Amino acid sequence: MKIAVVGATGMVGEVMLKVLAERNFIGATDELILVASERSVGKEIAFNGKNYTVVGLQTAVDLKADIALFSAGGETSLEWAPKFAAAGTTVIDNSSAWRMDPTKKLIVPEINADQLTADDKIIANPNCSTIQMVLVLAPLHRKYNIKRVIVSTYQSITGTGVKAVQQLENEYAGVQGDMAYKYPIHRNAIPQCDSFEENGYTKEEMKLVRETKKILSDNTIAVTATAVRVPVVGGHSEAVNVEFSNDFDLSEVRSILHQTDGVVLQDNIDAFTYPMPLYAEGKDAVFVGRIRRDESQENTLNMWIVADNLRKGAATNTIQIAEYLVANKLV
């Protein structure tokens, strides 16, 4: 097989290569094509002991990869994903470009990979904050039927990119430098992730609303979100309040989540065990804890959900989609 990584020099692209190596997705007889913008063409990147030369987008299209893992931004995806698809390549796109397109599948493999067919040539990878939330919500929705979700996020600066990481490091060191945000992030919390929409919510908040409904295939679920950027590197955290149609037993909720693929239950307050981005960093699982009944309202649950946004929230989920396609002979 030929596997292309588009955006290979970016923060998510680098994690994709790491995850590809860890999961042994690139076999000895497979061909890896590393793709980036024109300013990075010719750069060499090491992968599994071999150096690869970065090529441009048109060159990559002409090479007719079987699968292209895209993490190069929405504008690039809108322009180039159809060109790759027209050449017979199956594109798995990590940007927001195709997520809400009614003709494209929005996939978290543990939830809805069975929707995929060989005809799906552009497949959307959901937003990082959405992925970790719906992975926990999906089995509970099947059991108790979700009516409403209220989510507040505490999101890592890595979701913004390398410029934000550099801003935080500069502020730690007391050094003046380029600003990824309008305000300092060190010792601060910024209640804005992405730009604002006309309704006063940010794009990040509305991704949580819209993508949750699409992934769970249920437009009746009411979702409202507040997304906050915090000076954390390891991953995104979410306080999630879920109202169900049916009552639940806490021990059963814990049992369901314990048995859910991709979810790790960390919920022992006696031992001070609960999810934290410090320990989620570098891991592929979604961690859930602080599970408790909302005593102010019937049939309502509170949870704390944490995941590494660059891995399960981006690179790992993308590669899991590719693994599913290969395993089921859809490419």
Which of 128, 186, 193, 258 is catalytic? The answer is: 128
Check the annotation: does 125 bind a ligand. no
Is 187 marked within a binding site? Answer: no
Question: Is 11 a known ligand-binding residue?
Answer: yes
Residue 254, annotated as binding a ligand: no
- 23 labelled ligand-binding: no
Q: Is 176 annotated as a binding residue?
A: no
Supply φ then ψ for residue 224, to 5 degrees: -135, 145
**262 is known to lie in a ligand binding site:** no
Query: Binding site annotation covers 167?
Result: no
| Rounded Cα–Cα distance for residues 312 and 107 (Å) | 12
258 among known catalytic residues: no
- For CA atoms 180, 182, 186, 188, the dihedral sign is negative
CA torsion sign, 13 to 229 to 211 to 290?
positive
Using alpha carbons, select from 99, 120, 83, 112 the residue that is nearest to residue 6.
83
Strands 146-155 and 236-244: antiparallel
Q: Is 128 a catalytic residue?
A: yes
141, 193, 236, 258: the catalytic one is: 236
Q: Which stretches does DSSP call E strand in 183-235? A: 222-229
Question: 99 a known binding residue?
Answer: yes
* 3-state DSSP assignment of residue 2: strand
Q: Point out the annotated binding site for substrate.
A: 155, 229
Annotated binding site for NADP(+): 9-12, 39-40, 309
Q: Which residues are catalytic?
A: 128, 236
User: Binding site, residues?
Assistant: 9-12, 39-40, 99, 155, 229, 309
Q: Show binding-site residues for phosphate.
A: 99
